[in-house]
Structure 1
Amino acid sequence: MRIYELGDGTPEVSVVGSIHGDEPCGARAIERFVAEDPDVERPVKLIIANEEALDEDVRYLDEDLNRAFPGDPHAESHEKRLAHDLGREVRGTTAFSIHSTQSYAEPFAIVDTVDAISRSILPRLPVDVAVETNNFAEGRLIEHAHTVEVEAGLQKSDEAADNAYWLIRAFLTATNVLPAPAVASDGGNDVESQTEDDRLKLAAPEEDSLEVFKLLERIPKPDAEEYEVLANNFKVVEEGEAFARAGDELFTAEKDFYPILLSAYGYADIFGYAGQKVGELP
């Protein structure tokens, strides 16, 4: 675990990247941000979590770190010990955990539930979708209070690393670690200045609403030689509509649902999750 601390005082805000070693976007984004030596208005802690798995380019060494919290400092498992140490580092902070996925190219946010803290942060992130885990967060960092996870894009892509960088900046702006982007005025019309920070305002315009979904159940995936997904994440699948295939077996919806994290090979034993849309945030 590698930790960077910026600013003076005890950090009340933290950023965590690469909990999974095969998701380098968080580490790349943190290193890019720290290399800029930014001026911060509040102290912040940035953590590259599972360095050992990252070096090996594997998801984990002994077990999934994002299923190992709260951890155990005396465990034989590397990730169980690391979960304890990482939990100690983020305790008392508003935490931002960066991931990537094989199922969806656009960034989206994940929270345990939309509470007052996440409600103040989510609309200021460059995302169009947020997902409530609804009791599917066991062993995840997100179980800790005041934690927002994001899926930054497709695993190992340059786009995910770039998205993760801008997500970090947006989160740190929302938590007052970074100042709000400056916008110049041109004849009464707002125009973006030439600084890259203004991309944040363009990426998450205030007039856009944020769709909120809730996980309802896992979608099992049987053993097969080949898998195919026929539906799009966050787009409704209607009753009777085919949404996936395992070998020669076709899966159709027993009732309307929204697929979430649905992918052919993202998980070993499930296609992903069935969810419902529960509302929008302004």
Structure 2
Amino acid sequence: MRVAQLGEGTPEVAVVAGIHGDEPCGVRAVERLEADDPAVERPVKLVVANERALDRGVRYVDADLNRSFGEDVPEDAHERRLAEALADEIEGTTALSIHSTQSHADPFAVSDGRQEHVQRIVPRLSVAALVDVEEFGGGRLFAADADIVEVEAGLQGSETAAENAYTLAREFLTVTGVLPGDTVPREIPTFHMGEPIPKPPADEYEVFVENFQRVEEGETFAAADGDPLVADDPFWPVLLSPYGYENQFGYEGEPAPNIGQSPSEGANSTSVSSRSSAQ
């Protein structure tokens, strides 16, 4: 794990990259911030987490780091020890953890609930949606003693994801008072993550629907070796992709009250159109 700092003093803000070694976009954003060496109004800690996995170009060495913040990982696993060190490093901070995905080209945020820091930060980021994983967050970085927002910056390995990661990092640092400037909140469609969507054994998979857009009962949403998979009930796909997971397509989601509005106003947006958040 590599830790750098911008500014003098004890940081109460952190940016975390490289949780997964095959997602370099956040690392590139951190390196750009270091190279920029901007004048900061309060100190920030920049963390590149799983250097060993990054060097090998693999998601993890022994266990998924973003599932290692708990007791279910062997004590001798590289990521178990790394999780403990990373939790110590960001303790007490407000932190942004940068990822990328195979499921959706536009950036979206991930939270473990709708705490004050989520309400304050997420509407001021260039994200298409927020996914609340409160009931499915076991073992994730959210277990650390910090106020954490995750972002999926774009498609894994793409230049666009690297650009988006840098933009999101600077937006986060502006919201948290590290960088000067103002941010304007927007209303962000929000979804609860639901049950996983299993994959039947097959050699080839296809997905026919868009993440965050309603799938109707009876609609064909995917195929396995050409055999159609049909929705038994309506749902909103979350993290849905043909090959992002080994044993599942993604998750069934449900719309929640949009972030950036009063919960009493309800969820008045149940789909997210494709757009470029880097523009």
TM over 0.5: yes
Correspondence for 1:198: none
- Residues 70 and 87, structure 1, Cα contact 8 Å, conserved in 2: no
Which of residues 245, 248, 258 in structure 2 aligns to 1:267? 245
Residue 70 of structure 1, CA deviation: 4.2
Correspondence for 1:129: 129
Partner SS state of residue 254, structure 2: strand
Task: Give yes or no for the alignment of 1:225 onto 2:211.
Answer: no
Residue 169 of structure 1, CA deviation: 0.3
Identity %: 54
Q: Which amino acid aligns with 1:258?
A: W
Give the distance between the partners of 2:109 and 2:93, measured in 1 at CA: 18
Normalising to structure 2: TM-score of the pair? 0.89
- Residues 63 and 73, structure 2, Cα contact 8 Å, conserved in 1: no
Give the distance between the partners of 2:91 and 2:71, measured in 1 at CA: 13
Residue 75 of structure 1, CA deviation: 2.5
Correspondence for 2:264: none
Correspondence for 1:156: 157
Give the distance between the partners of 2:13 and 2:89, measured in 1 at CA: 11
Residue 280 of structure 1, CA deviation: 1.4
Q: Which amino acid aligns with 1:95?
A: A
Give the distance between the partners of 2:162 and 2:70, measured in 1 at CA: 27
Q: Which amino acid aligns with 1:250?
A: P
Aligned length: 259
Structure 1: gaps of 5 or more residues: 182-200
Q: Which amino acid aligns with 1:159?
A: T
Residue 249 of structure 1, CA deviation: 2.8
Partner SS state of residue 100, structure 2: strand
- Residues 260 and 275, structure 1, Cα contact 8 Å, conserved in 2: yes
Correspondence for 2:50: 50
Task: Give yes or no for the alignment of 1:256 onto 2:234.
Answer: yes
- Residues 26 and 98, structure 1, Cα contact 8 Å, conserved in 2: yes
Q: Which has the larger radius of gyration?
A: 1
Give the distance between the partners of 2:179 and 2:55, measured in 1 at CA: 30
Residue 142 of structure 1, CA deviation: 2.1
Residue 76 of structure 1, CA deviation: 1.5
Per-residue CA shift, 1:93-138, capped at 9, x if unaligned? Answer: 0111000001100000000011111101011111121110031111
Per-residue CA shift, 1:136-194, capped at 9, x if unaligned? Answer: 1111002334110000000010100000000000001010011115xxxxxxxxxxxxx
Task: Give yes or no for the alignment of 1:166 onto 2:167.
Answer: yes
Give the distance between the partners of 2:62 and 2:258, measured in 1 at CA: 39
Residue 71 of structure 1, CA deviation: 6.8
Instruction: Tell me the C-alpha RMSD between the 2 structures.
Output: 1.6
- Residues 99 and 151, structure 1, Cα contact 8 Å, conserved in 2: yes
Structure 2: gaps of 5 or more residues: 261-279
Correspondence for 1:179: 180
Give the distance between the partners of 1:84 and 1:134, measured in 2 at CA: 21
Residue 216 of structure 1, CA deviation: 1.2
Partner SS state of residue 85, structure 1: helix
Task: Give yes or no for the alignment of 1:22 onto 2:15.
Answer: no
- Residues 242 and 250, structure 1, Cα contact 8 Å, conserved in 2: yes
Greater shift, 215-224 or 257-266, is seen at: 215-224
Give the distance between the partners of 2:226 and 2:258, measured in 1 at CA: 38
Residue 17 of structure 1, CA deviation: 0.4
Give the distance between the partners of 1:249 and 1:73, measured in 2 at CA: 36
Q: Which amino acid aligns with 1:25?
A: C
Residue 6 of structure 1, CA deviation: 1.3
Greater shift, 52-61 or 208-217, is seen at: 208-217
Give the distance between the partners of 1:77 and 1:121, measured in 2 at CA: 33
Partner SS state of residue 123, structure 1: helix
Residue 254 of structure 1, CA deviation: 1.0
Task: Give yes or no for the alignment of 1:63 onto 2:41.
Answer: no
Partner SS state of residue 88, structure 1: helix
Decide whether aligned partners of structure 1 residues 70 and 91 sit closer, same or farther in structure 2, where only a CA change above 3 A counts: farther
Matches within 5 A, 1:185-200: none
Correspondence for 1:280: 258
Correspondence for 2:274: none
Q: Which amino acid aligns with 1:85?
A: A
Correspondence for 1:244: 222
Partner SS state of residue 135, structure 1: helix
- Residues 130 and 259, structure 2, Cα contact 8 Å, conserved in 1: no
